[in-house]
Amino acid sequence: MITRCNKGLVGVALGELVKLRAMGPADAEALWRWNHDPEVMRWMDDSYAQPVERVRTWLEERPRNTYGDLLLGIEALADDTLIGLVMLHDAAPEKGIAKLDIYLGEKAYWGRGYATDAVRTICRYGFEDMRLHKMTLTVVTENRAARKVYEKVGFVEEGRLRQVFRRDGKWYDMFTMGLLASELR
């Protein structure tokens, strides 16, 4: 079930385990904590550490969600805990394609189906409400947990970017993956 706000942008998208909702300044501490956890950020592009006040300011000043740039928090339905975030960006109605980014910052929720439900829910929203035709993403080849989530939802490998991600002094490849609306599981 997906409910929408007056302007057609997502208000809340409900999955089986998660609720996707707009993020705001009250989410700054969780986002800051996740971004400073090396295990959470292991396979993510990360930038220089920011103080929590800067993260809060970024969330306050960030433009509202639009068709081309959608940032949503992932909440566990069971206890209303913010556990991660998901983004659809670079969407254009003319192309019908968007890029997907997601991560769960609360490690207690890892491996329990929350990421799969969040990916499935945002993809369903993108295909049904945004009328997208395709979603794409990139994932570090060694990030097996994320690849498993994407494959469960229907994403397929479309290519390989060689040595484009650096971690701990080593270069890693990334897969590009895609999902067509007709392939969503």
Note down pLDDT in tens along the chain; length 185 residues. 444 433 345 568 999 999 999 999 999 999 999 999 999 999 998 777 788 999 999 999 988 898 899 999 999 999 999 999 999 999 988 999 999 999 999 999 999 999 999 999 999 999 999 999 999 999 999 999 999 999 999 999 999 999 999 999 999 999 999 999 999 99
Instruction: Output the pTM of the full model.
Output: 0.90
Q: Do β-strands 82-92 and 97-104 pair in parallel, antiparallel, or remain unpaired?
A: antiparallel
The pLDDT value given to residue 45: 85
Residue type at 151 in one-letter notation: E
* 129's tokens: 């409400």
Buried b (16+ CB within 10 A) or exposed e, 59-96: beeeeebeeeebbbbbbbeeeeebbbbbbbeebeeeeb
- How far apart, in Å, are the Cα atoms of 36 and each of 52, 69, 97, 106, 115? 10, 24, 31, 12, 20
In single-letter form, the type of residue at position 16 comes to E
Q: What is the DSSP letter of 10?
A: E
Phi, psi of 17 (to 5 degrees): -115, -20
Does residue 151 come out as left (phi exceeding 0), alpha (psi in the -120 to 50 range) or beta? alpha
- Hey, which bits of 105-167 come out as E strands? 134-140, 156-167
